[in-house]
Structure 1
């Protein structure tokens, strides 16, 4: 479970300093919100990161990955400005975290990259960026304490969990919000391949032959034992049906595409939860009755993960939320 405050109370390893990464620019949107540009030597490019500053120094840092669009509006005729279809533009980050002593950091870009390291494309080395290059810079610039959590939505939900597997000790709390935490079985790999092809990308360029060794290496459901000691939260809606949580306009309709995707990620999330249970690794697994892969759902899951207490000594827990039930605060 992504119980950030309890998890941050324990000692944690710091990310290794990035080799040559540095901040190129900081733009102040307001007194708490910065846009921080960082040069990534791994990718030889600059990445812009939204940062909501903690009110006091010595705070932990909560990283939030963008979705498949990298924070840009890819819809034909879309009106959302570049970088606006992301956590800081689509959810109330400033309101929810206003009274919480935590730095919230959300990188932008990386559309159709899965925010991972690609085996055949040096321009896509996002795991390296997130686990080695960015955290040391955030720690220094914002006087953070080096204790990190990370969450991802949809395509990056499984990636967030995978970071804890690939870079042990960097992230002590991880969250998958309607994500893909099971990726290497044939049907799963095919779904990911189709998703990436929609952006003109090859899944084999990402992790090699579909379902091959690199896919297994990045599959949280196949590496659940390596998550012992990590607070893990994973949630999805089992029905994919539209509900109040989606915050869609009146008369929007059934959201057929979103519901279809949500049912796919719900199946992937269940496979991961079953694997964690079989391995005896405690996670917080939430089965929602409604939600159709919308920003309303992602935001609700993110806030719920923050409000969920970690007890990494207990057996895996499963929560079935009743309709319109308020989020449980367990810490």
Structure 2
């Protein structure tokens, strides 16, 4: 990790083995790690002072216990992230599932109803949202530095996080080799009404994100319109049908409305995924799309599809 590297360099300077110029302080406007909590041998929490966001952001990372370089999978949360940990580790078996795999799994904390994007205006409810800048510019060098990242990245997420994963992938195509969406709708035209409602339902002003419907910013963040930028990437999408399946009686942290409307929500997701898959097929861009005959918009199904996606995403990362 970086703090150990810095400590070793300081010791070497003291012993006359290195010139002091070997250590470069971070740029004045660079994000800086202010604290690291090693939660266990394969899970760490970084507290990062983000100039873009104007506050300290917690990011938890699942990582191998040993050394060696590895790729990184940025795994985004849904509309209501956990307060003390990602819902991926709270509601699924992501931590034991990735243990022993040669990959960093990067789990940003916070960002309720943010769509992990840079909002055009600060919001009275949410404050300053500059998630795109944080995730694509400030965070990757820190992850690579602290956790031996090799610069090969994938990004994925569920629902809101999956929408955002595709948006970030088309806006920063050089950064990601693979992208995954679990019950996600990567078409901001189809999802516009639901997106604006979800922000307002959490107390935010949806006009502060990309402006009103028809504002060019919506098109500039639309993976369906920018799908050509996905060419050459490994792509995974999954959706249920909204028909109840084997997990309906399990108690999991759900989005509040999903306890009652998880079926209808997934019906809409299914239609959007089908339309997006058709768009990719028209462009002759390969994608793996998993259509489950059952399944609602809920965490137990996302655990299933996380497992199902790993041969695809892990292969792209060389893991």
Question: What TM-score does the superposition give when structure 1 sets the normalisation length?
Answer: 0.79
Residue 24, structure 1, aligned to residue 31, structure 2:
no
CA distances 1:220-251 after superposition (whole Å, capped 9, x unpaired): 1111111111111111112x1221255625xx
Moved more, 208-217 or 271-280: 208-217
Q: How far did 1:209 drift?
A: 1.6
Q: Secondary structure at the match of 1:94?
A: helix
Match of residue 50 from structure 1: 60
Contact between 1:222 and 1:275, CA under 8 Å: does it hold in 2?
no
- 1:243-300 Cα shifts (integer Å, max 9, x gaps): 1255625xxxx95411111112222212211111111111111111111111111111
Q: Secondary structure at the match of 1:43?
A: coil
Distance 1:244 1:52 in 2: 29
Question: C-alpha distance in 2, partners of 1:60/1:246?
Answer: 34
Work out the number of aligned pairs and report it.
280
Identify the residue that residue 69 of structure 1 maps to in structure 2.
Answer: 80
Query: Deviation of residue 163 (structure 1)?
Result: 1.1
Question: How do residues 164-183 of structure 1 correspond to structure 2 at under 5 angstroms?
Answer: 164-183=169-188
> Could you tell me which residue of structure 2 aligns to residue 115 of structure 1?
116
DSSP 3-state at the match of 2:209: helix
For 1:309 and 1:51, locate their aligned partners in 2 and report how far apart those are by CA, in whole Å. 17
Pairwise CA distance, 1:66: 1.2
Q: 1:244 to 1:300 in 2, by over 3 A?
A: same
Write out aligned runs for 1:1-331 (5 A). 19-54=29-64, 55-71=66-82, 82-84=83-85, 86-121=87-122, 123-185=128-190, 188-238=191-241, 240-245=242-247, 248=250, 255-308=259-312
Cα pair 1:242 1:255 within 8 Å, conserved: no
Instruction: Please tell me whether the aligned partners of residues 180 and 269 of structure 1 are also in contact (alpha carbons under 8 angstroms).
Output: yes
Cα offset for 1:99? 2.0
Whichever structure has more helix as a proportion of its residues is 2
Mapped partners of 2:45, 2:315: distance in 1? 35
1:265/1:277 Cα in 2 relative to 1: closer, same or farther (>3 Å)?
A: same
Asked if 2 retains the 8 angstrom alpha-carbon contact of 1:246 and 1:297, the reply is no
Unaligned runs of 5+ in 2: 1-26, 252-257
Q: Greater relative contact order (Cα 8 A, min sep 6): structure 1 or 2?
A: 1
Residues 6-29 of structure 1: CA distance to partner in whole angstroms, max 9, x if unpaired?
xxxxxxxxxxx9941011111111
Change (3 A) 1:310 1:52: closer
Structure 1, unpaired ranges of 5+? 1-16, 72-81, 313-330
Tell me the distance in 1 between the aligned counterparts of 2:231 and 2:142.
27
What CA RMSD, in Å, does the superposition of the two structures yield over aligned residues? 2.3
Task: Using the TM superposition, give the Cα deviation of residue 146 of structure 1 relative to its aligned residue in structure 2, in angstroms.
Answer: 1.1
1:77 corresponds to which residue?
Answer: none
1:84–1:42 Cα change, 3 Å: closer
Q: TM-score under structure 2 normalisation?
A: 0.82
Structure (1 or 2) with the larger CA radius of gyration? 2
Report runs of 4+ in structure 1 exceeding 6 Å deviation.
309-312
Kept after mapping to 2: 8 A contact 1:57/1:142: no
